[in-house]
Structure 1
Amino acid sequence: MGPFMINIKNIYYMLSYAYQSLNEGSYKKIQAEEFDHLHDLMAAILIQGSRSQIKRGLHRDYLSQEEVTSSLRGKIDVTSSVKQNTLVQRRMVCRFDQFSEDTLFNQILKTTMLLLIRCGDVKAENRKELRKLTLFLRNVDTLNPYTIQWSSLLYHRNNSTYKMLMNICELVIKGLLITTDTGDYKMKQYLDDQQMHRLYEKFLLGYFKKEYPQYSPSASYIDWDVDNGFSEFLPAMKTDITLTYGQRTLIIDAKYYGNTMQTNTMFNTKSINSANLYQMFTYVKNKDWNSSGMVSGAILYAKTDEEITPDNEYQISGNRFIVKTLDLGKDWAGIVRQLDGIAEVVEGIK
């Protein structure tokens, strides 16, 4: 079992909501294109994004260098000079900072471009464009994609324009890249479930932020409704999405699994995943600490190829619980209708 095949164009729309910078004018051309392979879509985004970045200027930083030289510069490393016996040659080991484009951001970008050129199903014209762009990175090293420390990427005013590019590179490397038995690289046709789950969560939050800002969408924390004020060691409760309208609250949990239903093998019966439902029940009841009934919960699964997928509503202990399946294989208008239907729950319309 697994999620349905997702239309490649829908992946682009999901990325556009997850990463709002994809809605800038320079990316509009991509929206009009048709793609047969996800690799080609990723290549098109990197091409457009890299062109824009090159026009702005590649990220540069001061990088520490070491050189054995007779022309002294920077700081002399006496210890290394003695160890390497450079004095015999009338040279010294010097350390200095050089302003260079060979930064981690550009290394990741170049590495991803080359992987798409060599391993991906990218059409000829996009391969050609990627090769042209790598010429601007000729002084940049490549990396072993599996050793990239993504958490070490720190953004500030001077490199914030790289954030979307790095997110796309991470999707390609962590979601598509695999190593063959011979040690070569190849790419899967679709993102793995873990990366799709992350994209699915970001997409849903991004969608509600853009289309329903009046509901103040956020991934917010819920406090435990403790009786004695003692909450030490209790786990944090962070929602995927919380929508609010006046006194009403809707908590949405995004789930992208290979199986949405659990099976009782003894009786051959199916039911909603108990852990998911218990989690949502906990969120709702702690948020609705005064038992107002104004807090509802929605579990939104991505549709799989299972014969039975959930589409139910329950009224439990004074609160409304919705379990829906979002079909990402539909045309985009159909997906929008489903999401708008979820949003209407906040005002009690549906």
Structure 2
Amino acid sequence: MIKIKNIYYMLSYAYQSLNETEYKSLHSEQFENIHDLMSAILIRGTSNQIKRGLHKNYRSHTEETGNLRGKIDSTASIKQNTFLKRRMVCHFDEFSENTLFNQILKTTMLLLLRHGKVKVTNQKELRKLMLFFGNVGTIDPQSIRWSSLNYHRHNAAYKMLMNICELVIKGLLISTENGEYKMKQFLDDQQMHRLYEKFLLGYYQKEYPQYSAKASYIDWVIDDGIIDFLPAMKSDITLTHGPRTLIIDAKYYGRSMQTNSLYNNSTIISSNLYQIYTYVKNKDRHGSGNVSGLLLYAKTDEDITPDNDYQMGGNRVSVKTLDLSGNWVEIKEQLDLIGEMMWTK
């Protein structure tokens, strides 16, 4: 089981803004559970955002009013006989903090307050923050289209906060049969998988800038030029240094091995091995042997923990296991050993 503190360190690499001054105190704080961790991050981030000023935007309104403003809707006014009341239907834009970003932020903090196991001190801080959101509405958490959120220079500071809100809503929140909400004690595997990928990429970007870590696309080696219907190949992490390349495929599963009941043996999940092998061979289009591949599993409760290196057609393909349940120093040592793989074929 992953320690809550380790999840915080993973988040700090996945989202580099967590290393800014306002979050520094979190490094020494102990968290009782995942709800407390998420609450603490939102409290620091939201407090800082309030000091900067909550994001505002123009929102369209239609209102029957005696104080004319914006554009008068004569047709609607006639249909509704507003003239008799000396009023008109008007369309106007209002500059307001009741934006989608603030609605998501308020909704998430309320969910943690009402359904999370949050310590008293953090509960008090969340309630204080609610006072600044009096003019902000809430939103159905299941209706949020996270991929449609657009960021620009005026709201860029919200990006990390929205990522944390997404983790809470998609990774912790569950609805019961009667429509009420509950919160899980741990992030679900899908959200942990995404965090695991972001964490590994962020770690090598920060600790090994010389390796130019990025999630890059790999071109198919095609003989006749026909690429119709071929799926895109995008690596989780690609490290490059000089002529050497290491492609890392991050795997966060409940199981890292597949079992053949007929022969009573366990093997690496075949589709994962085929995938990393395909990445390597297409990346090393000239057969130099300078491209290596790594399947990096997060450790599970299985008895077998893969730790193997294979030479396949002139390239090294490795399968390793990262134990996220230990102390952070040990985790860093494991990641640094992987970094050293860049220098060996």
> TM-score range with shorter-chain normalisation?
over 0.9
Take 1:155 and 1:347, find their aligned partners in 2: how far apart are those partners?
39
Aligned-pair distance for 1:183? 1.6
- Return the structure number with greater relative CO, CA threshold 8 A, min gap 6: 1
Find the counterpart in structure 2 of residue 193 from structure 1.
189
Range that drifts further, 133-142 or 147-156: 147-156
1:97-176 to 2 correspondence within 5 Å? 97-176=93-172
Take 1:340 and 1:20, find their aligned partners in 2: how far apart are those partners?
19
Q: Structure 1: give runs of 5+ residues left out of the alignment.
A: none
Aligned-pair distance for 1:61? 0.5
Find the counterpart in structure 1 of residue 237 from structure 2.
241
Give, as a single letter, the amino acid of the residue that structure 2 aligns with 1:344: E
Fraction of identical pairs, as percent: 69
Take 1:27 and 1:266, find their aligned partners in 2: how far apart are those partners?
53
1:343 aligns with 2:336: no
Take 1:256 and 1:79, find their aligned partners in 2: how far apart are those partners?
59
Range that drifts further, 278-287 or 259-268: 259-268
1:217 aligns with 2:216: no
CA deviation digits over 1:85-140, x for unaligned, max 9?
32332211101011100000000000001000110010001000000001001100
Give, as a single letter, the amino acid of the residue that structure 2 aligns with 1:292: S
CA deviation digits over 1:8-27, x for unaligned, max 9?
00000000000000001111
Take 1:346 and 1:79, find their aligned partners in 2: how far apart are those partners?
71
Secondary structure of the 2:118 match is coil
Find the counterpart in structure 2 of residue 328 from structure 1.
324
Take 1:39 and 1:225, find their aligned partners in 2: how far apart are those partners?
47
Among candidates 33, 36, 59, match of residue 40 of structure 1: 36
Among candidates 69, 77, 80, match of residue 76 of structure 2: 80
1:70 aligns with 2:61: no
Give, as a single letter, the amino acid of the residue that structure 2 aligns with 1:48: R
Among candidates 258, 261, 265, match of residue 265 of structure 1: 261
Q: Structure 2: give runs of 5+ residues left out of the alignment.
A: none
Secondary structure of the 2:26 match is helix
Find the counterpart in structure 2 of residue 276 from structure 1.
272
Give, as a single letter, the amino acid of the residue that structure 2 aligns with 1:327: D
1:9-28 to 2 correspondence within 5 Å? 9-28=5-24
Secondary structure of the 1:160 match is coil
Find the counterpart in structure 1 of residue 302 from structure 2.
306
Secondary structure of the 2:157 match is helix
Aligned-pair distance for 1:288? 0.5
Aligned residues: 345
Find the counterpart in structure 2 of residue 90 from structure 1.
86
Take 1:85 and 1:19, find their aligned partners in 2: how far apart are those partners?
55
Among candidates 42, 56, 60, match of residue 56 of structure 2: 60
Aligned-pair distance for 1:174? 0.5
Take 2:212 and 2:277, find their aligned partners in 1: how far apart are those partners?
22
Aligned-pair distance for 1:269? 1.1
Take 2:18 and 2:343, find their aligned partners in 1: how far apart are those partners?
30
Take 1:273 and 1:135, find their aligned partners in 2: how far apart are those partners?
51
Aligned-pair distance for 1:311? 1.1
Take 2:102 and 2:72, find their aligned partners in 1: how far apart are those partners?
29
Give, as a single letter, the amino acid of the residue that structure 1 aligns with 2:94: Q
CA deviation digits over 1:165-185, x for unaligned, max 9?
000000000000011222211
Take 1:49 and 1:80, find their aligned partners in 2: how far apart are those partners?
44
Among candidates 248, 252, 258, match of residue 256 of structure 1: 252
Range that drifts further, 93-102 or 77-86: 77-86
Take 2:101 and 2:168, find their aligned partners in 1: how far apart are those partners?
15
Please identify runs of 4+ aligned residues in structure 1 that moved more than 3 A: none
Secondary structure of the 1:136 match is helix
Q: RMSD value over aligned CA atoms? A: 1.0
Secondary structure of the 2:292 match is strand
Range that drifts further, 144-153 or 38-47: 144-153
Take 1:228 and 1:332, find their aligned partners in 2: how far apart are those partners?
49
1:319 aligns with 2:315: yes
Aligned-pair distance for 1:70? 1.5
Take 1:229 and 1:182, find their aligned partners in 2: how far apart are those partners?
56
Aligned-pair distance for 1:309? 2.1
Please, what TM-score do these two structures have when normalized by structure 2?
A: 0.98
Take 2:181 and 2:84, find their aligned partners in 1: how far apart are those partners?
46
Take 1:77 and 1:310, find their aligned partners in 2: how far apart are those partners?
69
Give, as a single letter, the amino acid of the residue that structure 2 aligns with 1:144: D
Please, what TM-score do these two structures have when normalized by structure 1?
A: 0.97
